[in-house]
Amino acid sequence: MKDIWQKLRLRKADEMEQFIFFRAQRNAYYFLVVSLLIWSLYASYQFFAYHGRLNLLPCLLLVAAVNIQSFTQLILTRNAVKDDEDSYETGPLAKIVLLACVAASLVATALAALVLMGVKI
């Protein structure tokens, strides 16, 4: 079985490869966020200037991407320092508040999209 992995050149990445991979992911994430922000602003401008149809897809993708990134970072940070007594990282109250804010923002975004699309609730 080990020979198959070696022939396919699949192996665990070393520290340098992990650093390069994470840096590339960070650059791609920044590109995604900036692109979605520009697309959201352009779609909003088109809606307000020409009274066209509002495209909420870039706004929803932007909100979802930022919320997922923030919540994942919180979870990974808490897991990394959960046994450290001297850590000043966020406690359970902050985690609950953040989760409530994420959930509320997603619900508000979905309701706003429904209202703007003319769906009667």
Percentage, residues of the chain above pLDDT 70 = 78
pLDDT, tens digit (0-9, with 9 covering 90-100), for 49-77: 888 777 778 877 877 787 777 777 777 77
Q: Encode pLDDT of 84-97 as tens digits.
A: 666 655 556 566 67
pTM for the model stands at 0.56
Q: How far apart are CA 101 and CA 74, in angstroms?
A: 13
What's the confidence (pLDDT) of residue 85? 65
Phi, psi of 118 (to 5 degrees): 85, 15
Which residue in this structure is represented by tokens 């779609």? 43
